[in-house]
Amino acid sequence: MAQTSTQLKIKVIPSASQNRIVGFYNGRLKITITAAPENNKANKGLIKFLAEKLEVSKQSIQITAGEISPYKTIEIEGISQKNIINKLK
């Protein structure tokens, strides 16, 4: 049986006062991250935050587009889009 994989389009705001989901912005999930956008810290912070919120391993989350941009596409293995929406509410 094929493993479930879901893509999310995200807008990341680094160097924020707290890690949190702000809502939707132009069709993307807007997330603030406390980590600075240097030395891959914001990307690692985003992956850690999403892994905790979605209750998946950090290894199951991959940035597939936007590695050095605030506009990112994330692929998450092992969780359906429906479960992601429920966990991010």
Count of domains observed in the chain:
1
Kindly report, residue by residue over 18-29, the tens digit of the pLDDT. 999 999 989 999
**Sheet containing 28-32: which strands, arranged edge to edge?**
20-25, 28-32, 5-13, 71-77, 61-65
CA angle at 27 for the pair 9 and 68, rounded to the nearest 5°: 40
Give the residue numbers spanning the domain of 80. 5-88
* Spatial contact of 30 and 9, defined as CB atoms under 8 Å apart: no
Instruction: Give the tens place of pLDDT for each residue, 38-66.
Output: 999 999 999 999 999 999 999 999 999 99
Q: What CATH number does residue 30 fall under?
A: 3.30.1200.10
Which element (helix H / strand E) includes 58?
none
Strands (E), 1-89: 5-13, 20-25, 28-32, 61-65, 71-77
Cα 5 from Cα 25, distance rounded (Å): 23
pLDDT of residue 87: 87
The mean pLDDT of the chain is: 93
pLDDT of 3 reads: 72
